[in-house]
Copies of this chain bind each other. A is one copy, B any other.
Amino acid sequence: MINKIPVILASASPRRKELLEQAGISFTIMPSSAEEKPIEDTPNVIAENLAFTKANDIYQQLKKEKKDNFIVIGADTIVHYNNDILGKPEDEQEAYDMLSMLSDRTHQVYTGVCIIYKGESGKQVEIFSERTNVTFYPITSYEIKNYIETGDPLDKAGSYGIQGPFAIHIREIKGDYNNVVGLPIAKLYQTLKSMNLV
């Protein structure tokens, strides 16, 4: 355990949970159900706003309970291609359409992160986002159908998970890999370090 102060993760994502665990950060989970209709904005701002909304939702709950000395972490990941934000697919057809569109192209993944630290002497908030460029190999219809059959795409922004069976279609990335998985654990750690919290 590398954190001195209790951490609360405002997300139910098993991938974020795993990344925090790997980093040696000890935490509990309080998933935020706060949602915000993204307004038209740049993708980094959209991701940061959503991360703040989630972290603040949990922060407000804990404040009502008169809790003190804690860190809330909120995060949100979005996929951006050709001026479009790609969310989780509604169904298999939409997953197919997204993956066909991204085949043989480079797109951007943004994860916004919000850290709210409540200490005795007050509150400290840090918000950032991290961008990773992801390039796919050309993918055939047959390969996309095979991948959709695994069930992997349906709970994932952009319809793919970089860390599972889809890895065979990733030509290269530029940036932080874990940012694409759902949490830029390195930048998160470095930020906590600069806040004197690890």
Q: Does A177 contact B (CB under 8 A)?
A: yes
Nearest CB in chain B: distance from A23 CB, A: 5
CB pair A22–B167 under 8 Å, yes or no, is yes
- CB-based contact B186/A23 at 8 Å: no
Q: Which of A167-189 contact B (CB under 8 A)?
A: 167-178, 185-186, 189
Asked if A173 and B164 make an inter-chain contact with CB atoms under 8 angstroms apart, the answer reads no
Q: Does A190 contact B (CB under 8 A)?
A: yes
Task: Give every chain B residue within 8 A of A137 (Cβ-Cβ).
Answer: 186, 190
Instruction: Tell me, in angstroms, the Cα distance from A8 to B172 when the chains sit together.
Output: 26
The answer to whether B178 and A167 have CB atoms under 8 Å apart is yes
Residues in B whose Cβ lies below 8 Å from that of A22: 163-165, 167
Q: Are A171 and B165 also in contact (CB < 8 A) when A137-B190, A186-B137, A190-B137 are?
A: no
Identify A168's interface contact among B146, B164, B186, CB under 8 A. Answer: B186
Q: Closest approach, in angstroms, between the C-beta of A37 and any C-beta of chain B?
A: 32
Q: For the complex, what is the distance from the CA of A18 to the CA of B50, rounded to whole Å?
A: 34
Q: Choose one: B24, B162, B168; the contact of A23 (CB below 8 Å).
A: B168
- B19–A165 touching, CB < 8 Å: no
Given A23-B165, A24-B165, A165-B24, A186-B170 contact (CB < 8 Å): yes
Closest residue on chain B to residue A167 by CB atoms? B185
Interface residues of A (CB under 8 A from B): 2, 19, 22-24, 132, 137, 146, 162-165, 167-178, 185-186, 189-190
8 A/B residue pairs, CB under 8 Å, sorted by A: A2-B146, A22-B163, A22-B164, A167-B178, A168-B186, A170-B177, A172-B174, A172-B175
